[in-house]
Amino acid sequence: MPEVLFEDNHLLVVNKSAGQLVHGDQTGDPTLLDHCKAYIKESYNKPGNVFLQPCHRLDRPVSGVLIFARTSKAIDRMNALFRTQQVEKFYWAMSDRMPDEVEGEVSDILLLKDRKKNVVKIVEDHPDAQLASTSYRLLAELAQKYLWELKPVTGRSHQLRVTMKHLGMPIIGDLKYGHKEGLGSSIALHCRQMTFVHPVRKTEIEVKCQPPEEYPWSEMTNM
């Protein structure tokens, strides 16, 4: 069971490990959803099936904050918050290249997903393409490794990974989007923090978590 960052009767927020599936797929590997359901069932002594649904996506090789809804009311309201861009999201990413600017915004790219290949590309025009917007800034530099804060405004599939490639600084370990060396089942992309208004209690919730201790994050241990 991963680290629990926040928990009440409506939400469960955990620190997802890199390489872990959220939902089941053709691999049949154990999922984070199953682990969390088992945790709730045991912790609250719940009979029967446990209601639990993820409120957003994190790709399998990505780590960090993942929000689950524990009730149908919570999932409906959290979906509305994400849809209307009322959830503030901050990611950390690491690269071994640096663009000309250490801070900026990419707000004019159209993304199109090839669902058969599970790859997203930038296109000039397509009826199914979606506009993506991301701001970025350099947080630290050490030994030719660069730590970036990424703030996505939209929530498109693979948005941050494609944006980093577009900027000429592919995420370390991300072979799918331009990096030359893999990191096994992970890439150096971590959902660092999410801030939102609780869907039921209406109080502001801020959850954050540290990235994995392994390379390349270990290069930035003083952050």
pLDDT tens-digit map of 84-126: 999 999 999 999 998 888 999 999 899 999 988 999 999 998 9
Q: What totals of helices (H) and strands (E) does the chain contain, helices first?
A: 3, 11
Backbone angles phi, psi at 137, to 5 degrees: -155, 145
Decide: 120 and 111 in contact? Cβ < 8 Å: yes
Check pLDDT > 80 for residue 223.
no
What pTM did the predictor assign?
A: 0.94
Q: Are 63 and 186 in contact (CB under 8 A)?
A: yes
Q: Which of the residues are catalytic?
A: 59
Q: Which residue type sits at 57?
A: R
Distances from the Cα of 181 to the Cα of 16, 58, 103, angstroms: 23, 21, 25
Where does the pLDDT of residue 62 fall: very low under 50, low under 70, confident under 90, or very high at 90 and above? very high
For residue 40, what is the DSSP state?
Answer: H
CB atoms within 10 A of CB 28: 8
Q: Is the pLDDT of residue 26 over 90?
A: no
State which H helix or E strand residue 11 sits in: strand 11-16
The three-point CA angle 194-199-200 to 5° equals: 140
Q: What does the pLDDT read at residue 132? A: 95
Q: What are phi and psi of 43, to 5 degrees?
A: -65, -35
* First vs last C-alpha separation in the chain: 26
Instruction: Provide the pLDDT confidence category of residue 47 given band limits of 50, 70 and 90.
Output: confident
E-assigned strands of 70-186? 88-95, 103-114, 119-123, 130-142, 145-152
CB-CB contact of 63 with 18 (8 Å): yes
113 contacts: CB under 8 Å, gap ≥ 6:
119, 120, 157, 158
pLDDT, mean over the chain: 93
- The tens digit of pLDDT for each residue in 174-219 reads 999 999 999 999 999 999 999 999 999 999 999 999 999 999 998 8
Q: Would you say residue 146 has pLDDT above 60? A: yes
Domains and CATH numbers, the chain: 4-220 (3.30.2350.10)
Q: How far is CA 185 from CA 35, 107, 175, in A?
A: 19, 29, 11
Q: Which residues pair with 208 in a beta bridge?
A: 193
